[in-house]
A and B are shown apart, each in its own frame.
Chain A
Amino acid sequence: DAKTTQPPSMDCAEGRAANLPCNHSTISGNEYVYWYRQIHSQGPQYIIHGLKNNETNEMASLIITEDRKSSTLILPHATLRDTAVYYCIVRVVAGGTSYGKLTFGQGTILTVHP
């Protein structure tokens, strides 16, 4: 699976949008971009995923550049409960033997301030 690069930490004011970048310049055509987050002492939580189109769900939006070499996770109105480590992961969804290997990088520690 392709490697990702994320900033180690970011701050955001409560109520503002949090934009978390991820670089995945070696991504392959059959690899999806996934975002998970982990709140302290809990298991990772799935947020969103996408292949090449922008995606939105009730938690967040995912913007993938046209060349697919980078993406941005957007939390539109951050709250204190969004303080967590955010992981950007790229992986093949189906086929071969790699579908089971969800490999976490170091992630971004997002701190939302009052």
Chain B
Amino acid sequence: DTEVTQTPKHLVMGMTNKKSLKCEQHMGHRAMYWYKQKAKKPPELMFVYSYEKLSINESVPSRFSPECPNSSLLNLHLHALQPEDSALYLCASSPSPAQRRSYGYTFGSGTRLTVV
């Protein structure tokens, strides 16, 4: 399996809702990432998990809460979002430097989130 699977593909949520995005990979990668991409802009890094521990938080607002329950799964919990949070949310994984099997990141197809 050489894919990163993200669910759902599309999500519409109200500003008072709580929802979660899910990301799964079975490549044995021990680093996983969340990116946010606004229309016509490059992806922006949000969080990095290494060996199931949060290693980088790019000053993301607390209404975004990441979770890495195991080495294959990464969640992004959403609560009290604003319309400006509407974007494509991308998950990626990569081998950690210690693994060194490959240097490329593998990205999922993303979840297109609309906050109304």
Contact = CB atoms under 8 A, between A and B. Distances in A.
Which of A32, A41, A104, A107 has the most chain B CB atoms inside 10 A of its CB? A104
A102 B42 contact: no
A46 B31 contact: no
* Count class of interface residues, chain B: 20 to 34
Contacts of A65: none
B80 to A, nearest CB: 27
A43 B97 contact: no
B97 A44 contact: no
B107 to A, nearest CB: 3
B45 A101 contact: yes
Contacts of B110: 41-43
Contacts of A101: 45, 48, 56
Nearest to B104: A46
A45 interface: yes
Contact of A105 (B42, B88, B97): B42
A94 B97 CA distance: 5
A100 B48 contact: yes
Interface of B: 4, 31, 33, 42-45, 48, 50, 55-56, 88, 90, 92, 96-97, 100, 103-110, 112
Q: Which 3 A-B pairs have the closest CB atoms?
A: A43-B107, A94-B97, A46-B104
